[in-house]
Amino acid sequence: MSLGLYIHVPFCKTRCHFCAFYLQIHREDRVRSYLESLSREILLHAELNSLDGRLLDTVYFGGGTPTTLSCDQLAAILEQVQQCFELQEHAEVTLEAHPDTVTEKGMRSLFQAGFNRISFGVQSMDEDELVKIGRRTSRHAAGTAVQAARSAGFVDTNLDLIYGLPGQTMRSWLATLDETIGLEPTHVSCYALTIEEGTRLYRDLHQGSTDEPDADLQNAMEDEAVSLLTAAGFERYEISNYSRPGFACRHNQLYWRGDEYLGLGPSAQSYLDGCRFGIVEDLLTYHRTLEFGNLPIQECERLTPEQCRRETIVFGLRLIEGTDLGIVEESMDRTWEQVLDRLLDQGLLEERSGRVRMTEQGRRFADSIAVELL
Ligand code: SF4
């Protein structure tokens, strides 16, 4: 079983209009307190031997925008992680970055510090679309950032895209895909926009100044993404993820395969020793709890072996390879069998070579299928 470490950096320069993640606007004093608390959290886990001496296969810095921290600050966190936990020799170490926040010099120092995979939140290559979601980024920023990362030594680069954005047309989506492919990343993630409560887009929707994403257009955009990316040599290995052969994101695969991970930083989630637990979504409580020498865990649920198996199955269905039919059959009770049979009959799931997976049609209803099976 693989093991991962996730570090949540809860700062961004501004909040994008679709974003519902826990974060605060970047400020030096907030960053200073965060770094002190994160360091305490890492030390506490090392003292408690939370990872039981196991080696880390992956480390993932996500957010927020981790690159709102300076390169020295990011390198110092990674150094402490390496001192307190042990990494596999070829561990995947990912850093999420906003294209506007990186330079070639910075990328070089991050690569030398041990980061070996970079994931850029690009979302769109169209400036008007970017403005509509609150990102004042030049359309050339992604290209410049990818170039800087590559010159600094990063081979493994991901670009995140969103389809169904306000004002986005099929034509502009195709142009975004085309430009993305032209930058030759090793990995591309394409997410359908959903409007979540608490976001600026949610408010706009209720005030009538924006529309719900058009589901038919989003489906057509997804089809085009599959076809263009596949033609360009990418393999779709999960509903939203495409990679060049050998470059699937190992960290994200931990989640879908039911492997374990420890999450640090406010709002980070963990799955360790059969327990799911989360860190408080509030920086002040996070600081205070750690100052008193305690872990700021807000909820902890111990899963029964049966729940663990079912979660592994449901997450595994998101993968194009699907999930092992043997594990599925082991978990069957009468009710589950009926739900599964119905999903197979409806053509939303399929059985193939000893594995069960979602069909093309099923992938469009992935979240509802998960709710039915959990
Ligand atoms: S940069 Fe990313 S984390 Fe920050 S507000 Fe935008 S989408 Fe959210």
Q: What is the pLDDT confidence band of residue 371, given thresholds at 50, 70 and 90?
A: confident
Cα dihedral 243/244/249/250 (nearest 10): 140
CA of 65 to the centre of ligand 1 (A): 6
What pTM did the predictor assign?
0.95
Mean predicted confidence (pLDDT) in 141-147 = 96
- Closest ligand 1 atom to residue 98 Cα is 1
- The answer, yes or no, to whether residue 370 has pLDDT greater than 90, is no
d(CA 328, CA 272): 22
Of the candidates 28, 18, 21, 60, the residue with the CA atom closest to the CA atom of residue 164: 18
Q: pLDDT at position 306, please? A: 83
- Residue whose token pair is 């039919």: 325
User: Which own/partner pairs from 269-276 qualify as long-range (CB within 8 Å, at least 24 positions apart)?
Assistant: 269/6, 270/6, 272/50, 272/51, 274/302, 274/303, 274/305, 274/308, 275/300, 275/301, 275/302, 275/303, 276/300, 276/301, 276/303
Q: Does any ligand 1 atom lie closer than 6 A to the CB of residue 202?
A: no
Nearest CA to ligand 1 atom 8: 19
| Residues 175-220: tens digit of each pLDDT | 999 999 999 999 999 999 999 999 999 999 999 999 999 999 999 9
Q: Are 164 and 216 in contact (CB under 8 A)?
A: no
Q: Does any ligand 1 atom lie closer than 6 A to the CB of residue 9?
A: no
- Closest ligand 1 atom to residue 123 Cα is 7
The best mutation among 65, 95, 162, 267 to test binding of ligand 1, ranked by most ligand atoms within 8 Å of the C-beta, falls on: 65
Of the candidates 60, 59, 63, 51, the residue with the CA atom closest to the CA atom of residue 24: 63
Q: Which of 18-32, 65-79, 91-105, 301-315 has the lowest mean pLDDT?
A: 301-315
Q: Does any ligand 1 atom lie closer than 6 A to the CB of residue 16?
A: yes
The best mutation among 21, 135, 158 to test binding of ligand 1, ranked by most ligand atoms within 8 Å of the C-beta, falls on: 21
Q: What is the pLDDT confidence band of residue 310, given thresholds at 50, 70 and 90?
A: confident
- C-alpha distances (whole Å) from 278 to each of 178, 315, 327, 352 are 39, 19, 27, 36
Provide the token pair at 111.
């690569």
Q: What is the pLDDT confidence band of residue 163, given thresholds at 50, 70 and 90?
A: very high
Q: What percent of the chain has pLDDT over 90?
A: 84
User: What string of H, E and C letters represents the secondary structure of 65-132?
Assistant: CHHHCCHHHHHHHHHHHHHHCEEEEEEEEEEEECHHHCCHHHHHHHHHHCCCEEEEEEECCCHHHHHH
- Closest ligand 1 atom to residue 13 Cα is 4
Of the candidates 292, 170, 275, 270, the residue with the CA atom closest to the CA atom of residue 221: 170
Cα dihedral 179/181/187/193 (nearest 10): 50
Q: Does any ligand 1 atom lie closer than 6 A to the CB of residue 159?
A: no
CA of 353 to the centre of ligand 1 (A): 40
Q: Are 117 and 185 in contact (CB under 8 A)?
A: no
Nearest CA to ligand 1 atom 5: 15
d(CA 192, CA 268): 23
Q: Does any ligand 1 atom lie closer than 6 A to the CB of residue 130?
A: no
